[in-house]
Chain A
């Protein structure tokens, strides 16, 4: 899939050809079947991330971003069904049995969740929660794991780490908790870190600190990062490449610089326009009218057509495929030539 695209647009990813992707996702689909027709939350998305690179995944709430993250860890709820291929370092994960998945989670692919307030076990000491990852995956004894947990807390910049390790989550501030969650996720030096809105619940100064910390740790560990966010400003800062998701599908793919300099898909354009600018007096913030349709898999044409200013009859009739339009850029829109 990936190589096909490279043939079509030769040279687009030359620097990446030398580094094989750590994570490859091909045709990932997540269905929630039900007697009343069910719901396809993620609809055949494909992408890859190379070592040390950051892929931003943007889109509104309910467009399938978070479900994609859960699918990468084999954590799709039991009522859902996942198809497609996930390959990590050349090894296919999609046909792992329920018994083998836990060896990958937290060890090769780690996850940082949105809510540091609720993501930690309230009845367990911070240090023990980090040490647990190491006892599970590296078979460390309790005392060793505790030592490593304290080191890990130091690594993410938590002062007096040895004492903090003994604290319970409610005794730490939001920013400290998110640092602890990151320390936990990175304890086994994973190949891929999935960050699902990791800074959304934090205030702006803490946000900047956490982002800086993540970038610094990425440089040290060299992991690939999939950064999920609806915050375009944050994504523009941290991501190398960006995919824009709408209604379970990828509608645009580009390097971060290209995407923000010249968004091609009307949805991306809309998203970027909604960003408020400091110093620009506005009576009304621009918005994209409407919301993500809830039963989007039933829509025959373009799923964005209902909200798109450029949509015409053909948009509503035929679904646009994701196709390369310029060097290194892909977009799913009939109106982009």
Chain B
């Protein structure tokens, strides 16, 4: 188990290293650099000034040498400065990561519980009344564009009813837990509605498949009642494939909640990456992308561990 974890963590480090090289290279291939931006915003600068600045920042060096310098600095804990904010990148990413983590973990917990419950209930009588209703709403959730959903939620709950704030992240020193949570209700609801449909369909089909297996018949032949057959026998077996999907969703959600974060003015990781790329804030974009990569890898690792925990036939050695 320890050995397995070490091996996986080592693998993750390698992927991050490769990823950093690729992203650094892509950014380096983009036309223009920070000095060009400075020249554009300051008409008084001469070409000689620009060359001097380039030499000062090491930007006149070949890409591979610049990458090497960045890497050695990063490995010693220096991830550089954000050009736009003029602050260390980690200071920008820290709060953004925390914000996104709150958003995504709430979404994952609520969304997973909801979709497993709905999926199981729908699978008990496939094509029954309940299944039809759940299927309808699942497909609706999958099909609705996130921005539209977010707008409708804002319109109804923030504008018409005035129950919840329309956007923002709340006061920096919230007076109560609810004071900070209420800013998360609408964005989390949007993400849950957008994600629960697909996961419900998945939980449903996995459950239907499991309920057809021989050991389910054995459980019934033992005298186990329906509830026990479903929750004790079928669910743990059906969950193995569901947790894989949840684990994969984790990374996607962490960096991919961009639309939701934008709609609700949440300064999360997705929004940070987007703004950094658009604003030529190379250092910030690079580090934020690496964090997103790390989150995806972590999600996969957690899914594999959960899989092994649920299915005794799978061992992590």
Contact = CB atoms under 8 A, between A and B. Distances in A.
Contact of B218 (A103, A104, A120): A120
Given A168-B312, A170-B313, A121 B221 contact: no
Nearest to A194: B221
In the A-B complex, list the 3 residue pairs whose CB atoms are closest, starting with the nearest. A106-B223, A118-B214, A106-B222
A105 B224 CA distance: 8
Contact of A120 (B215, B224, B228, B310): B215
B222 A133 contact: yes
Given A122-B312, A123-B311, A105 B221 contact: yes
Interface in A85-115: 102-107, 110-111, 113, 115
Which one of A102, A120, A123 has the highest number of Cβ atoms from chain B below 10 Å of its Cβ? A123
Nearest to A111: B221
Given A121-B233, A121-B237, A168-B313, A184 B222 contact: yes
Contacts of B311: 122-123
Contacts, number: 70
Q: Is the interface of B mostly helix, strand, loop or mixed?
A: helix
13 contacts: A75-B220, A75-B221, A102-B220, A102-B223, A103-B223, A106-B221, A106-B222, A110-B221, A113-B217, A121-B233, A122-B312, A132-B222, A132-B224
Interface in A133-161: 133, 136-137
Contact of A121 (B218, B223, B225, B310): B218
A137 B214 contact: no
Contacts of A115: 214
Contacts of A168: 312-313
A284 B18 CA distance: 65
B214 A113 contact: yes
Interface residues of A, number: 27
A119 B237 CA distance: 14
A155 to B, nearest CB: 17
Nearest to B216: A121
Contact of B219 (A103, A107, A121): A121
A333 interface: no
A221 interface: no
Contacts of A121: 215, 218-219, 233, 237
Contacts of B222: 105-106, 132-133, 136, 184
